[in-house]
Amino acid sequence: MKPNMKLNAALLIATALVLAGAARADDSDKFLVRGDATKGMMEQHQINVATAEAIGKACVEEAVKRGVRISIVILDQFGEPVYFYRMDGQGKINIETAFMKARTVLNTRQPSKASMNQVLTGRSSEARQISFGNFPNSGALPIIINGNQFIGAVGVGGSAPALPEWSDEICAHRALTKVMGPQPPLLPDVERSTPTR
């Protein structure tokens, strides 16, 4: 390849990357509170109600397709509820677990399954996780834009898992993907380790 062709190819690639990054940044604005609403709260990275509601509705649609009932909560990055919905037939424990899973994401900035997997593999005890305010159970995921900007957590509770096709976590993942685009892959499902004697 001639030097000018290499330079032109490099410029084209660099331009494409800049435009892709700009498009992604502009695209993320639709998920955030913008305009006059940001003046009073002095915060530029808060998930907006429209996005939270869209995620919630997408998850409920998935649950309806599956024939199960769920409770879903979206918390902002400070732990304040932005959206909550419980389907008919959900009891208090289903609602509470959705909130506890979402709070675990707030504490760890990881899927709540990460805490569960630490317990299952013996790297942490359930009591230790609870002492940190975590609920070591899958079903909640971080809401992230621009690759590393944490804007909240989605927590789902109330349905029994039927892996690999269904779980509260799969519902949250499908909803996030539908509303916000491709998401990181889910953490692997691990078996509880048995202590050696």
E strand or H helix at 71: strand 71-76
Distance CA(27)–CA(181), nearest Å, equals 10
Handedness of CA 9, 12, 15, 20 (dihedral sign): negative
Q: Tell me the fold of 41-180.
A: Beta-Lactamase (3.30.450)
What local confidence, expressed as pLDDT, does residue 192 receive?
Answer: 84
Cα–Cα distances (Å) from 9 to 22, 23, 86, 124, 177, in that order, read: 20, 21, 53, 50, 33
pLDDT tens for the chain, residues 1 to 197: 454 544 444 434 443 433 344 334 446 677 766 566 565 655 667 899 999 999 999 999 999 999 999 999 999 999 999 999 999 999 999 999 999 999 999 999 999 999 999 999 999 999 999 999 999 999 999 999 988 899 999 999 999 999 999 999 999 999 999 999 999 999 999 988 876 55
Distance CA(88)–CA(92), nearest Å, equals 12
Domain ranges for the chain, please list them: 3-29, 41-180
What local confidence, expressed as pLDDT, does residue 19 receive?
Answer: 38
What local confidence, expressed as pLDDT, does residue 30 receive?
Answer: 74
